[in-house]
């Protein structure tokens, strides 16, 4: 019988460590979440796939050290956040990465949005708004962008974001507030 994996906090550390024993099941369950975060952060499918693979490779190699103090989801997201941060830092150091024209894959993000029978004009408008939000998100500081993506792409609550990033809940709230204000201001929406 295949173990039951959860995406929220497990009741105890013993159950958490049992979850990681079937690593194939772990990858199947958590790959979409890690990949979505990487794609939203790096804006390139190849880079996101590569980083997601790196995340699971690191987790696989470190699985014996997993103590179950945090949820498996939180542990994997911590690894992903650190890999994205390192990737962005390394990318900034390479001249050719700074000068190449970045072509964000808005179609990948737009495909994941529900259609709800929108007219072609409505779908085009929604796609434009998504592209505009992404362009604003790219201008945020690294911490604000990370908190924003974990909240709105991965739908993590504030405590989960704090656990993933190592920030205090109050600090997460401040970064999220500032990110939302920047997005609203640039999008022309006032509250």
Residue-range domain boundaries for the chain: 1-101, 114-191
Q: Distance of CA 144 to CAs 23, 83, 140, 178, Å? A: 32, 16, 6, 7
| Mean pLDDT of the chain, nearest integer | 79
CATH class of 1-101: mainly alpha
Alpha carbon of residue 171 to chain centroid: 18
Examine the pLDDT at 12 and tell me if it is beyond 80.
no
Residue at token pair 């945020």: 140
The set of residues, in sequence order, having a beta carbon less than 8 Å from that of 173 and lying 6+ positions away, is: 158
Confidence (pLDDT) at 117: 58
| Residue reference for tokens 């709230």 | 173
- Residue 83: pLDDT band (50, 70, 90) is very high
pLDDT at res. 171: 95
Tens-digit pLDDT profile for residues 88-115: 877 655 533 343 344 345 455 555 544 5
> Which of these, 65, 172, 157, 189, lies nearest to 181 by C-alpha position?
189
pLDDT at 103: 39
Q: Which fold has domain 114-191?
A: Arc Repressor Mutant, subunit A (1.10.10)
Share of the chain above pLDDT 90, in %: 41
Among the residues of 43-156, which ranges form H helices? Answer: 45-62, 72-93, 95-99, 106-111, 120-137, 142-152
Rounded CA gap, 188 and 159, in Å? 30
Whether 87 has a pLDDT exceeding 50, the answer reads yes
Instruction: Choose among 177, 160, 156, 178: nearest CA to 169.
Output: 160
Question: How far is CA 135 from each of CA 40, 104, 169, 173, rounded to the nearest angstrom?
Answer: 11, 9, 26, 22
The SS3 call for residue 36 is helix
Mean pLDDT of 129-144: 86
Which is nearest to 64 in space by CA: 24, 22, 25, 21? 21
């Amino acid at each position: 019988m295949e173990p039951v994996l959860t995406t929220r906090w497990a009741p105890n550390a013993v159950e958490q460590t049992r979850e990681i024993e079937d690593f194939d099941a772990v990858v199947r369950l958590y790959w979409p979440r890690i990949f979505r975060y990487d794609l939203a952060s790096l804006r390139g499918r190849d880079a996101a796939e590569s980083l997601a693979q790196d995340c699971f490779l690191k987790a696989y190699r470190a699985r014996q050290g997993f103590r179950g103090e945090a949820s498996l989801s939180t542990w994997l997201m911590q690894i992903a956040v650190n890999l994205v941060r390192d990737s962005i830092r390394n990318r900034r150091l390479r001249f050719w990465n700074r000068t190449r024209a970045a072509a964000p894959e808005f179609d990948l993000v737009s495909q994941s949005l529900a259609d709800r029978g929108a007219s072609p004009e409505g779908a085009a408008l929604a796609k434009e708004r998504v592209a505009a939000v992404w362009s604003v998100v790219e201008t945020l500081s690294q911490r604000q962008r990370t908190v924003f993506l974990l909240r709105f792409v991965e739908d993590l609550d504030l405590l989960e974001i704090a656990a993933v990033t190592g920030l205090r809940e109050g600090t997460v709230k401040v970064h999220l507030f500032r990110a939302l204000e920047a997005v609203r201001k640039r999008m022309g929406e006032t509250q």
